[in-house]
């Protein structure tokens, strides 16, 4: 099953230093924490975009998996794994939507 943490976005919340550095303004440290949080969330978004592109191009047969591996710097086996996980997520999404549609039309008990 795919590792969901790869796409996990951390919440946009008020961050406060837990162990403040003496002599440095708390506001400066808070700004740095927010900048790091934004950078971390961009990584998750980037993984989701990359994996989605590889999945789409596999479905459309417009780029070989070998060339995807070259472009991303990943091993072809890892590219295959990411594409398989993206396909599994898509099928799970379709199945959940189908269950929801069916449930709406089921008679009440």
Summarised one tens digit per residue, pLDDT across range 18-38 is 999 999 999 999 999 999 999
Residues near 6 by beta carbon (within 8 Å), at least 6 away in sequence: 44, 47, 48
pLDDT at 14: 86
pLDDT at 8: 83
Task: State pTM to two decimals.
Answer: 0.73
Residues near 102 by beta carbon (within 8 Å), at least 6 away in sequence: none
Q: What is the mean pLDDT of the chain?
A: 91
**Band of pLDDT at residue 4, cut at 50, 70 and 90:** low
pLDDT of 2 over the 60 cut: no
- Residue 2 tokens read as 């795919």
Q: How many CB atoms lie within 10 A of CB 32?
A: 14
Q: Under a CB-based contact definition with an 8 Å cutoff, are residues 83 and 54 in contact?
A: yes
């Amino acid at each position: 099953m795919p590792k969901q943490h790869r796409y996990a976005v951390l919440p946009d919340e008020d961050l406060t230093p837990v162990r403040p550095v003496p002599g440095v303004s708390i506001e400066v440290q808070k700004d740095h924490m927010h900048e790091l949080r934004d950078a971390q969330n961009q990584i998750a978004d980037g993984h989701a975009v990359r994996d989605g592109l590889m999945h789409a191009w596999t479905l459309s047969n417009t780029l070989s998996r070998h060339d995807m591996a070259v472009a991303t710097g990943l091993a072809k086996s890892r590219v295959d794994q990411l594409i398989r996980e993206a396909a599994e997520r898509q099928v799970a999404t379709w199945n959940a939507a189908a269950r929801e549609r069916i449930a709406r039309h089921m008679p009440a008990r």
